[in-house]
Chains A and B, each alone.
Chain A
């Protein structure tokens, strides 16, 4: 009986020791917290896409196209461009996206006076607000939405819209 007890105690103990033995398997030199965001591996691409996904979610969750939420989207988009490490980048993207979502939810309906107020030129949004009319000016298609002109551009792989002054 005692033997059985000892075996039943020893076996888990041995198993535990082997488990505890696993972590030091990673030699110290490559346990690093700062990743190298080498484009050949697409690590940057993933972070980049993450920003876009959440940016779009934020855009969808925000029924209002107030300046506030547009700015939040712009921040989320801008966070994609941060070219520090992938870790920093994704952390930033998440923070920005969280901010964007909060702002999107908290954004009050735009006051009638502010609705027609144009956004600063160069603001990037991931989707056009509703109710746009499109006009070609000098070979470029412009979208006129709520007092603001936009034009489509590729920001990396993604088609986005940037506020512009038709010329």
Chain B
């Protein structure tokens, strides 16, 4: 009986030690530097490489998680491809259940073309791709595919307000071995996978909205990278077909309700 009691004491002690080690390890983790320089360095290698390219084209497959009012999740698939010729030419196409559209930017004008409706709108645009992306988003309420990676200062934009960064490990995406990185900033987590050998191209990235109780994410997998695409001027200028209807952009804040 005495042996059983002493065994019980030992077991309780072991349990207590486990609980204590849990507390200690949590405290240690909380004090550990949250931004791992190794993760930041890999991200910077990728953004520096993309920023150094005079021109490139790529294909992306985008999955957008969506919560219905019923709480059920559905995923929207969008295929997008982008051709960039710095400093002032960009062409993008986006195809999916919601959108079938082309973007043309030739350094002077931006055209958005909606193929199913054969309708397009053309606006004068700023003189650089970075200016164009800002203008499209802020003045037209327009998001151009893969713009996160197209910005020349993508590193600053991605690292802004980052409070946590770590190298999760390795992964193989589309037969490419990649480093898996995780970053957090207020309200948003993002994961980036970067090819670990050869050209440091982004393999995939996932953005998670932490503010949404469903933690929904947007996943982008990139492929078909080409750093010497054909960049003749004609590819970046829209020529309306016969019967194409010219329409306008509605200012993003132009609502039809008085409250706006």
Q: Give the docked Cα–Cα distance between A103 and B233 (Å).
A: 50
Partner of A86, one of B25, B66, B161, B211: B211
* Complex partner residue of B98 from A42, A52, A141, CB under 8 angstroms: A52
A101 touching B247 by the CB < 8 A rule? no
Within 8 A of B (CB), among A100-139: 101, 120, 122-124, 139
**A97 an interface residue at 8 Å Cβ cutoff?**
yes
Interface string of B197-234 (1 = CB under 8 A from A): 00000000001011110001010000000000000000
* Residues on B with beta carbons closer than 8 Å to the beta carbon of A77: 256
> Is B29 in contact with chain A by the CB < 8 A criterion?
yes
Closest to A29 in B: B163
B25/A21 in contact, CB under 8 A: yes
> Contacting A35 at CB < 8 Å: which of B29, B187, B252?
B187
- C-alpha spacing A88/B163, complex, angstroms: 23
Cβ–Cβ contact B142 & A156, under 8 A: yes
Q: A2-B4, A54-B68 are in contact. Are A157 and B184 (CB under 8 A)?
A: no
Residues in chain B near residue A45, CB distance under 8 A: 143, 218
* In the complex, A159 has a CB within 8 A of chain B: yes
The contact of B188 among A41, A75, A122, by CB within 8 Å, is A41
CB atoms of A162 and B250 under 8 A apart: yes
Closest Cβ of chain A: how far from B47's Cβ, in Å? 12
The complex places the Cα of A140 from the Cα of B84 at a distance, in Å, of: 32
Verify B212–A90 contact, CB threshold 8 A: yes
A27 within 8 A of B: yes
Stretch from B7-15, B50-58, B170-178 forming part of the interface with A = B7-15
* Chain B neighbourhood of A78, CB < 8 A: 255-257, 260
Contact residues in B for A159 (Cβ distance below 8 Å): 114, 117, 119, 247
Specify the chain A residue showing the minimal Cβ separation from B7: A6
The answer to whether A153 and B250 have CB atoms under 8 Å apart is: yes
Specify which of A17, A30, A153 is in contact with B22 (CB 8 Å cutoff). A17
CA distance A98 to B188 in the complex (A): 26
Interface centre among A20, A50, A78 (most CB of B within 10 A): A50
Contacts of B188 in A (CB 8 A): 35-36, 38, 41, 43
- The answer to whether B112 touches A154 (Cβ under 8 A) is yes
* Known contacts A43-B207, A50-B66; A153 and B249 CB within 8 A of each other: yes
Taking a contact as CB atoms closer than 8 A, the residue among B25, B64, B142, B186 that contacts A49 in the complex is B64
Give CA–CA (A131, B101) in the complex, Å.
26
Q: A39-B143, A40-B158, A159-B119 are in contact. Are A21 and B255 (CB under 8 A)?
A: no
Q: Are B211 and A30 in contact (CB-based, < 8 A)?
A: no
Contacts of B249 in A (CB 8 A): 153-155
Assembled-state Cα–Cα distance A87/B186 (Å):
13
**Measured between C-beta atoms, what is the minimum distance from A74 to chain B in Å?**
6
B211 in contact with A35 (CB, 8 Å): yes
Q: Given A30-B163, A41-B188, are A35 and B112 also a contact pair (CB < 8 Å)?
A: no
6 new A-B contacts, CB < 8 A, other than A83-B252, A157-B142, are A25-B26, A36-B187, A41-B207, A153-B121, A154-B249, A156-B140
Query: What are 9 residue pairs bridging A and B, where the CB atoms are less than 8 Å apart in the complex?
Result: A3-B7, A24-B30, A29-B163, A30-B163, A36-B188, A41-B218, A45-B218, A81-B252, A141-B245
Measuring CB to CB, which residues of chain A are less than 8 angstroms from any residue of chain B? 2-3, 6, 10, 13-14, 17-18, 20-21, 24-25, 27, 29-30, 32-46, 48-50, 52-54, 74-75, 77-78, 81, 83, 85-87, 90, 94-95, 97-98, 101, 120, 122-124, 139-141, 151-160, 162
4 closest cross-chain pairs (CB), A and B: A35-B187, A35-B211, A156-B141, A87-B211
- Which residues of chain B have a CB within 8 Å of any CB of chain A? 4, 7-8, 11, 14-15, 18-19, 22, 25-26, 29-30, 34, 64-69, 76, 94, 98-99, 101, 112, 114, 117, 119, 121, 137, 140-143, 147-148, 151, 157-158, 160-161, 163-164, 184-188, 190, 207, 209-212, 216, 218, 245-250, 252-253, 255-257, 260
